[in-house]
């Protein structure tokens, strides 16, 4: 018995098959054989998601499905409409289907950095370019790859992701990994993922993710303004979570700067290694002090329970480094999102050094 999938127009089916064939072609043609198992798991993982899609319209009309799920899927359809009309995001056919994953995350991302550097290891792929992480549909595969990097002396961090964007190559579905988030968190996540369809440039993960995070935050602010009367408590909870995240990212940035200065020093390796451990201990100690004053920061306990390392810091900076800069660009655009997108696209056309120099000016 084949799984039920949404009936797609012929051109949509062809586009999906062509996308997979292109990825496979580039992988075979340009990459060493040892890379092929990675592409095999990536293609199989994406194909599994495509096979298991169920039309949301059918699920909403099915009285045998849980009322909670049906209500949430209706909510997501409202979020889609808002994203298209109010945020000018390319909704297309995204989030019209649902996939039950039977696992907590859709992918596990592996971050890595040298022992004495905060420059992330990057991996380059056909179509998307070079990124600062490597994603696996299997947690076991992610840890196997992470262990191989550790044996080479890298700092490694593995984090689960509840969603990702296929950048328009496929119609992204609603996933069970995020369907049970609160309504405010769900709306913010959808705004974030759809933002990747507005702007994505190769070889600059921090730019792409910070842009999407800035759109997510502005999108949710506008969503709240329209729906506050219905869910003021939900918005207040989201604001508190955002404030906690700001304290957390500020703490990470503070100690990242300290580590950067240490790594650029001329100290012997043994001294650097000892001081590196001391800096991470100080970071953990300051977190405990902050948590005593702001109990909500306990949400980051699991993050601090990991053995802290460079890759773990990179997993945070990747998503937040340029968010304040994009916020200022939006402000100078008078809150006009179409104008904001145009300016960001022009910025994306510049070389990496010039692009980062301009963004730095906005954060000074």
Residue 3 has pLDDT above 90, yes or no: no
Alpha carbon distances (Å) from 17 to 24, 27, 168, 169, 278: 11, 15, 13, 10, 52
pLDDT band (50, 70, 90) for residue 339: very high
Alpha carbon distances (Å) from 250 to 4, 269, 307, 317, 360: 46, 28, 19, 10, 16
Q: Would you call 2 helix, strand, or coil by DSSP?
A: coil
Domain assignment present for 149? no
Domain that holds residue 87: 1-106+162-230
Q: What's the structural domain count of the chain?
A: 1
Q: How many CB atoms lie within 10 A of CB 117?
A: 16
Domain assignment present for 262? no
Where are the alpha helices (H) located in 265-320, listed in sequence order? 269-293, 301-305, 310-320
So what's the pLDDT on residue 43?
86
Nearest-CA neighbor of 135 among 224, 22, 42, 267?
42
What is the pLDDT averaged over residues 263-276?
97
Domain assignment present for 45? yes
So what's the pLDDT on residue 11?
38
Helix and strand counts by DSSP (H, E) for the chain: 14, 8
pLDDT band (50, 70, 90) for residue 13: very low
What is the pLDDT averaged over residues 313-328?
89
Residue 362 has pLDDT above 80, yes or no: yes
Domain assignment present for 240? no
So what's the pLDDT on residue 321?
83
Q: How many CB atoms lie within 10 A of CB 139?
A: 15
Residue 112 has pLDDT above 80, yes or no: yes
What is the pLDDT averaged over residues 4-8?
32
pLDDT band (50, 70, 90) for residue 224: confident
Between residues 321 and 61, the one the model is more confident about: 61
User: pTM for this structure?
Assistant: 0.85
- Digit-coded pLDDT (tens) for 39-75: 889 888 998 999 999 999 999 999 999 999 999 999 9
Domain assignment present for 351? no
pLDDT band (50, 70, 90) for residue 102: very high
Domain assignment present for 304? no
Looking at the chain, how many residues does it have? 364
Domain assignment present for 357? no
So what's the pLDDT on residue 30?
42
205-227 and 67-86 are packed helices; what angle lies between their axes, rounded to 10 degrees? 100
Instruction: Give the whole-angstrom CA distance, residue 122 versus residue 130.
Output: 6
Alpha carbon distances (Å) from 198 to 77, 79, 110, 327, 356: 20, 17, 25, 16, 19
Instruction: Give the whole-angstrom CA distance, residue 236 versus residue 227.
Output: 12
Q: Mean pLDDT score of the chain, rounded to an integer?
A: 88
- The alpha carbon of residue 207 and the mean position of all alpha carbons in its chain are separated, in whole angstroms, by 12
Residue 319 has pLDDT above 70, yes or no: yes
So what's the pLDDT on residue 143?
97
Domain assignment present for 142? no
The percent of residues in the chain predicted with pLDDT above 70, rounded, is 88
Instruction: Return the ∠ at Cα 72 (arms to 69 and 74), rounded to 5°.
Output: 110
């Amino acid at each position: 018995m084949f799984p039920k999938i949404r009936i797609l127009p012929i051109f949509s089916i062809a586009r999906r098959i062509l996308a997979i064939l292109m990825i496979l072609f580039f992988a075979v043609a340009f990459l060493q054989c040892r890379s092929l198992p990675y592409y095999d798991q990536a293609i199989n993982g994406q194909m599994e998601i495509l096979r298991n899609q169920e039309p949301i319209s059918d699920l909403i009309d099915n009285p045998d499905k849980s009322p909670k799920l049906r209500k949430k899927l209706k909510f997501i359809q409202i979020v889609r409409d808002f994203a298209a009309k109010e945020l000018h995001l390319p909704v297309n056919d995204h989030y019209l289907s649902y996939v039950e994953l039977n696992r907590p995350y859709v992918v596990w991302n592996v971050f890595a950095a040298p022992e004495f550097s905060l420059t992330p290891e990057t991996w380059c792929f056909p179509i998307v370019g070079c990124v600062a992480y490597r994603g696996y549909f299997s947690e076991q595969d992610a840890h196997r790859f992470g262990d191989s990097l550790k044996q080479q002396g890298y700092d490694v961090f593995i984090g689960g992701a509840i969603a990702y964007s296929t950048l328009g190559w496929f119609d992204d579905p609603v996933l069970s990994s995020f369907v049970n988030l609160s309504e405010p968190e769900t709306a913010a996540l959808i705004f974030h993922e759809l933002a990747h369809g507005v702007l994505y440039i190769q070889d600059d993960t921090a730019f792409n993710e910070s842009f999407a995070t800035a759109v997510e935050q502005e999108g949710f602010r506008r969503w709240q303004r329209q729906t506050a009367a219905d869910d003021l408590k939900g918005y207040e909870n989201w604001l508190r979570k955002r404030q906690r995240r700001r304290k957390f990212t500020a703490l990470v940035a503070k100690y990242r700067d300290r580590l950067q200065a240490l790594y650029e020093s001329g100290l012997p390796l043994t001294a650097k290694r000892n001081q590196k451990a001391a800096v991470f201990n100080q970071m953990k100690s300051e977190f405990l002090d902050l948590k005593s004053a702001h109990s909500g920061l306990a949400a980051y306990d699991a993050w601090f329970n990991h053995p802290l390392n460079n890759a773990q810091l990179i997993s945070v900076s990747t998503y937040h480094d340029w968010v304040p800069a994009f916020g200022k660009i939006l402000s100078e655009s008078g809150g006009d999102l179409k104008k904001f997108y145009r300016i960001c696209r022009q910025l994306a056309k510049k070389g990496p050094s010039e692009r980062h120099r301009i963004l730095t000016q906005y954060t000074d």
